[in-house]
Amino acid sequence: MEFSLHNLTIPIWVYDIDRYCIHWANEPALGLWESTNLKELQSRDFRPITSDALQESLIEFQQSFFEGYSLAHNWHFSPKGIDKYAYCQLSGYPLEDGRMAMLVEALPIDKQHYKMQSSLTVMLSHYTEAGEFVSGNPPFLQNIGRNVQHLSDIVIDDSALQSIIKCLRHSGRFENDVLMKSHSGNRWYHLIAVDVKEGKDKGEILCHQYDIHQRKISEISLTHQVLCDPLTGLLNRRGLESKLQFLDQQKTPFLIYYIDLDGFKLINDSFGHAAGDDVLRKVADRLIACLPHDSNICRFGGDEFVVLVPLDKFHVDKDCLANSLVKTLAESYDDSQSRAMTLSASIGVARYPDDADKISNIILYADSAMYQAKHLGKRRWVSYTKGMELTIRRQSVIAQYLYYAEDNNELSLHYQPIWGLGKNNQADRIMGFEALLRWYNKELGWVAPQELVKVAEEIGIIDNIERWVVHQALSDLLLLRESVANDITMSVNVSAVNLLDAYFPSFVLNTIKEKKLSNEDLVIELTESTLIEDINKQRNIVNLLVSKGINISIDDFGAGISSLAYLHRIPASVVKMDKIFADSIENNSESFQHICQLIKTNNMQVLSEGVETDLQQQTLASFGVSLFQGYILGKPKPLSYYLN
């Protein structure tokens, strides 16, 4: 057999997985293996020193090689008792008899570098189907120990262990980040567990562990900053959305208390914002003390709080807890000068899933009950009853008129400029416009965009309205280019509904062609939650649009539900930071810098919305923000404003 690998200076060898021996090696590999010649190395039998876990892993690698995959691992081995460390690229090598061997290309590294790259060092362990420990490779024994009797000995969280068992029974595979015991304490590992059954009477469990502790700790810290309110330490809206999604996925029933503080504005006006902030922190402390320990508490807005109380473990008396909250929050608050401040709370209560079959409605229902409590005189609580939201809000009336808004030419677009950086880190050039939907009805007057979109989604016409927006915005782009700049782009907001429509991409592309524009001229803004839902589908519309040259922008980043870990999976070109970041940039600069760096690492531009001062713009630019929107730069205006 002739190899073209003899002249390479890095160690290369072919390992026969089935026969536990080295099939061939070049000269540098002989030195790495402490061998004087190829024949001697080929004669070595690795069977006695190959653990069951390692052999099962190599067989799994072999199957991957048949499918054309390659792998990379840090490897520690000890030829003739001498410790060697190498970064190894592993790929398949077909033998003449049709079997698949493993081609190893090794880059020797020192022990310190090996430890620094521990995330690539695979720790292998082998268990019976019942989870009883069988064997582990040297890295596993060195890092985890030799006293393991059962998989449960090293998985810290019982719920994580149950999830592993459930996944193995259901699909034969588990993969996730798991907190596990080690010699150096509890550490985070990326765990891959596979149920191996081929050729065996009983199933066996093969585990691969990769040390990701430092990365995971940094991720948890950064996620905490993003998901929590900096003033109170409670969850923010994004954190609440994440908890709601989790409870929904787990099918966990819960109570929701929507709390609005009565008289808080008066405290701010009379005692100052510092005193108001202190009151909000005290409210947070009182909620924590008053509620069951497994409750999730969110500062939902300025003086609004939302509480989720899971009902899967303990019985909770809804009425008793609501009375306790009203009483606790109405007790006197003192400022730094011991001046008493009076406050009370109006609370709306709803129960999931009894009151709402969709998680997206439950906050609305609790909010509607809270408004009813305010209407009845404040300092009280009200339980949601079916239809309450319709009597509190005017959605039913809006729905009646909205059906005919397009036919009656009541819809219009306003355009807000998107500015890019120029000289001296100043936003001095319009790069594009965002199309913002407006609706004026002679009976209702101007209807808030949020109301319009919410009702349109509920009555099932949001897709038609958004198509009207796309068509009108691209028509207006031609006129805007004549008046502003010939290379500006147009951004439009699209909801999840249109991403369920297989005909939406063809509509967009045909409209662009009709207007004689390029696909790159359009930017589609999608929320984090919408993007995550779409990328998790086997065939998704976002990737199709991107493949045609359409640009994607992640809208309201920081106000959605996604994990930061999803960024690298989303094929977006722009991440639009929610206004909350610009508002709190002075207090959260470190968090913002980390997020900007993560975004830029994924080759995306950062757009900050809600910029209202020159100082905000300059500070954001220093952190790497390259695109800006805000009232100081330009409010949304009708088309005629830019054509004059």
Between the alpha carbon of residue 260 and those of residues 283, 299, 384, 511, the distances in Å are 11, 10, 15, 46
Instruction: Please check the confidence at residue 510 and state whether its pLDDT lies above 70.
Output: yes
* Residues in Cβ contact with 29 at an 8 Å cutoff, skipping those fewer than 6 apart: 11, 12, 13, 41, 106
Question: What is the percentage of the chain residues whose pLDDT exceeds 90?
Answer: 45
Instruction: Please check the confidence at residue 210 and state whether its pLDDT lies above 90.
Output: no
pLDDT in tens, 338-382: 888 889 999 999 999 999 988 889 998 999 999 889 888 899 999
Instruction: Please check the confidence at residue 532 and state whether its pLDDT lies above 90.
Output: no
Ranges 111-120, 329-338, 470-479: which has the least confidence: 111-120
Instruction: Please check the confidence at residue 190 and state whether its pLDDT lies above 50.
Output: yes
Amino acid at 52: D
What's the CATH number for 12-118? Answer: 3.30.450.20
User: Given this model, what pLDDT does residue 534 score?
Assistant: 65
Q: Rounded distance, CA 178 to CA 166, Å?
A: 15
Q: Report the sign of the C-alpha dihedral through residues 155, 90, 69, 100, in that order.
A: negative
More confident residue, 257 or 268: 257
Q: 122-211, what's its fold?
A: Beta-Lactamase (3.30.450)
User: Given this model, what pLDDT does residue 535 score?
Assistant: 67
Kindly state the tokens that stand for 582: 């610009």
Grade residue 565 by pLDDT with cuts at 50, 70 and 90. Answer: low
More confident residue, 531 or 642: 642
More confident residue, 245 or 197: 245
Q: Rounded distance, CA 579 to CA 610, Å?
A: 5
- Please give the mean pLDDT across all residues of the chain: 86
Query: What is the arithmetic mean of pLDDT over 255-279?
Result: 90
Amino acid at 557: F
β-bridge pairing 333-334 and 304-310: unpaired
pLDDT in tens, 1-59: 444 444 566 788 999 999 999 999 988 899 999 999 999 999 999 999 888 778 877 88
Query: What is the arithmetic mean of pLDDT over 388-401?
Result: 78
Query: What is the arithmetic mean of pLDDT over 395-406?
Result: 88
User: Given this model, what pLDDT does residue 201 score?
Assistant: 61
Architecture of the 218-391 domain: 2-Layer Sandwich (3.30)
What's the CATH number for 403-638? Answer: 3.20.20.450
User: Given this model, what pLDDT does residue 437 score?
Assistant: 96
- Complete DSSP assignment for 25-77: E-HHHHHHTT-SSHHHHHH---STT--HHHHHHHHHHHHHHHTT--EEEEEEE
pTM confidence score: 0.45
Backbone φ, ψ for residue 143 (5° rounding): -90, -35
pLDDT in tens, 284-294: 999 999 999 88
Instruction: Please check the confidence at residue 329 and state whether its pLDDT lies above 90.
Output: yes
Burial of 300-331, coded b for 16+ CB within 10 Å and e otherwise, reads beebebbbbbbbeeeeeebeebbeebbeebee
Query: What is the arithmetic mean of pLDDT over 452-457?
Result: 87
pLDDT in tens, 574-607: 998 888 788 877 776 777 787 888 888 888 999 9
Indicate the domain borders of the chain: 12-118, 122-211, 218-391, 403-638
Q: Which of 406, 390, 422, 414 is nearest to 466 (CA)?
A: 406
| Element containing residue 160 per DSSP (H, E) | helix 158-170
More confident residue, 194 or 490: 490
Instruction: For the sheet with 12-16, list strands across it.
Output: 21-25, 12-16, 100-108, 84-94, 71-77
Instruction: Please check the confidence at residue 119 and state whether its pLDDT lies above 60.
Output: no
Grade residue 313 by pLDDT with cuts at 50, 70 and 90. Answer: confident
Instruction: Please check the confidence at residue 613 and state whether its pLDDT lies above 50.
Output: yes
More confident residue, 212 or 36: 36
User: Given this model, what pLDDT does residue 362 score?
Assistant: 94
Fold match between domain 218-391 and domain 403-638: no
Instruction: Please check the confidence at residue 140 and state whether its pLDDT lies above 70.
Output: yes
pLDDT in tens, 46-103: 999 888 778 877 887 888 788 777 777 778 788 988 988 887 888 889 998 999 999 9
DSSP secondary structure code for residue 521 in this structure:
G
Kindly state the tokens that stand for 21: 């021996």
